[in-house]
């Protein structure tokens, strides 16, 4: 898969996972609720709406070359936004389980990051999957 296909696969996995949908408080009867809680881009603080918490953003921040001309080492970031630190753990666990089950990927880096938004807790997961060039 290339980066776009990988992102689309994540969208399908995340939005169809009942546990994650519940953890993110998605209103399954409202299609627009999905785009409020799932973002496929890095979210700038000025574009963020705190009414959509909890939410996640997932995107490829970078991809570097490997010894194989047909594969790049992608840097997949998944940012979890919540009102409280304690809300992160179950969301983090479910995301890691989904990615491990489907892609056999492991977390390469993780930790709290500044959201730039008052009273919004941001936690970042980083994965490094191989993606097609």
3-132: CATH topology is Alpha-Beta Plaits (3.30.70)
User: Can you give the residue ranges of every domain in the chain?
Assistant: 3-132
- The total of other beta-carbon atoms located within 10 Å of residue 108's CB is 12
Chain segment 34-66, per-residue pLDDT in tens: 999 999 999 888 888 889 999 999 999 999 999
Give the DSSP H/E element, type plus range, for residue 71.
strand 71-82
**For residue 46, what pLDDT is reported?**
82
Could you give the 3-state DSSP secondary structure of residue 108?
A: coil
Q: What angle do CA 52, 3, 123 make, to 5 degrees?
A: 40
Chain segment 82-103, per-residue pLDDT in tens: 999 999 999 999 999 999 999 9
Rounded CA-CA distance 44/71 in Å is 29
Residue-averaged pLDDT of the chain: 95
Token pair recorded at residue 18: 């009942």
């Amino acid at each position: 898969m290339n980066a776009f296909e990988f992102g689309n696969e994540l969208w399908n996995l995340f939005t169809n996972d009942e546990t994650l949908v519940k953890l993110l408080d998605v209103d399954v009867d409202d299609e627009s609720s999905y785009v409020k809680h799932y973002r496929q881009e890095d979210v700038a603080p000025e574009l963020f709406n705190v009414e959509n918490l909890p939410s996640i953003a997932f995107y490829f921040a970078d991809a570097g070359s490997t010894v194989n001309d047909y594969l790049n080492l992608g840097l997949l970031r998944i940012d979890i936004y919540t009102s409280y630190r304690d809300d992160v753990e179950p969301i983090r666990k479910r995301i890691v389980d989904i990615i491990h089950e489907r892609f056999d990927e492991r977390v390469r880096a993780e930790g709290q990051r500044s959201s730039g938004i008052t009273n919004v807790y941001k936690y970042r997961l980083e994965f490094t999957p191989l993606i097609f060039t």
